[in-house]
Amino acid sequence: MIRSTLWVALLAIAVAGCGGGTTNDLKPSDGTTTASPYDNGPRAADSPVAEALAQRGEGLFKTKGCTACHAYGKRLTGPNLQGVTHRRTADWMEHQILHPEIMTKEDPISRALLAEYAVQMSNQGLTPEEAQSVVEYLKKLDEETDLKTVAQAAK
């Protein structure tokens, strides 16, 4: 009984994490398209965390300067990253990390983020594997947050 309650609560969190927020809904009134070719398919959080990559990603997140603009659980110069793996695909996140200057020119989600935050994300020169590691680290943070929320709800 407790196990099924935990699964229901986790599912509710996952569904809630997929929506909300100004740049998550992107419904322009001018008729332009907001579909991103990189944000189709399962959300990043839908796949299991690769622990070794997540550990490497944590180090990269701290040493490559990500913490200057991003935090988990609060907004800084850049968006709050809590729940990002529920809102975005791994493909979109990796493209944003690897080519932010191109994404803001070509991707509607990235353009909306630039408009909202008025700061171009800087290219930190990561390799594709390093970008994947950062995504895995963010997945791990979201998974830990989801589990804490489920545990608190079960009390």
Domain assignment present for 98? yes
Total number of domains in the chain: 1
In a domain, 65, yes or no: yes
- The label of the residue with tokens 């040493």 reads 63
CA distance 129 to 148: 29
In a domain, 58, yes or no: yes
Distance CA 56, CA 134 (A): 8
Task: Identify whether 88 is part of a domain.
Answer: yes
| Cβ–Cβ under 8 Å, residues 14 and 45 | yes
CATH number, residue 145: 1.10.760.10
Domain assignment present for residue 90? The answer is: yes
Boundaries of domain holding 10: 2-21+38-154
The answer as to whether 29 is a domain residue is no
Q: Is residue 46 part of a domain?
A: yes
pLDDT tens digits in sequence order for the chain, 155 residues long: 443 333 333 333 333 333 333 344 444 434 444 689 999 999 999 999 999 999 999 999 999 999 999 999 999 999 999 999 999 999 999 999 999 999 999 999 999 999 999 999 999 999 999 999 999 999 999 999 999 888 888 88
Q: Is residue 28 part of a domain?
A: no
